[in-house]
Amino acid sequence: EPEVTQTPSHQVTQMGQEVILRCVPISNHLYFYWYRQILGQKVEFLVSFYNNEISEKSEIFDDRFSVERPDGSNFTLKIRSTKLEDSAMYFCASSDRLAGENEQFFGPGTRLTVL
């Protein structure tokens, strides 16, 4: 069964550093998403991406955040100047239709710890 993969599973970084979280969506999917979940809290939407551009983004997705699909298979989330409050689980998801029309498949997540 096809699945979304994410690397690394755990990333530890110093405050102020840049991190890149990587995702490989399901190969025939067209819509890609990043979410975060702070420990004990709800899953929060960050950004959706389609046709090589951002479709929607939330207030959390400020100018320190960026996404890229550099090679047709990987989908990356870059966070610059990391803050302590960026510590969370980051989930990538993909779907073959818009979020409201069809199931999103989530990756196993990357746990980001900012020290």
Partner 1 sequence: RKEVEQDPGPFNVPEGATVAFNCTYSNSASQSFFWYRQDCRKEPKLLMSVYSSGNEDGRFTAQLNRASQYISLLIRDSKLSDSATYLCVVNGAGGSYIPTFGRGTSLIVHP
State which of residues 79, 104, 112, 114 lies at the interface with partner 1 (CB under 8 A). 104
Binding residues with partner 1: total (CB under 8 A): 21
Per-position DSSP letters for 37-91, written without gaps between them: E-TTS-EEEEEEEETTEEEEE-TT--TTEEEE--SSS-EEEEE-S--GGG-EEEE
The verdict on 101 binding partner 1 (CB under 8 A) reads: yes
| CB nearer to partner 1: pick between 46 and 114 | 46
By CB under 8 A, what part of segment 72-91 binds partner 1?
89, 91
* Residues in CB range of 114: below 8 A, 6 or more apart: 13, 14, 15, 82, 83, 84, 85, 86, 87
Q: Are 5 and 93 in contact (CB under 8 A)?
A: no
The verdict on 106 binding partner 1 (CB under 8 A) reads: yes
Task: Write each residue from 25 to 54 as x if it is in contact with partner 1 (CB under 8 A), else as -, in one continuous string.
Answer: ----------------xxxxx--x------
Query: What does the binding site for partner 1 look like in residue numbers (CB under 8 A)?
Result: 41-45, 48, 56, 58, 89, 91, 98-101, 103-109
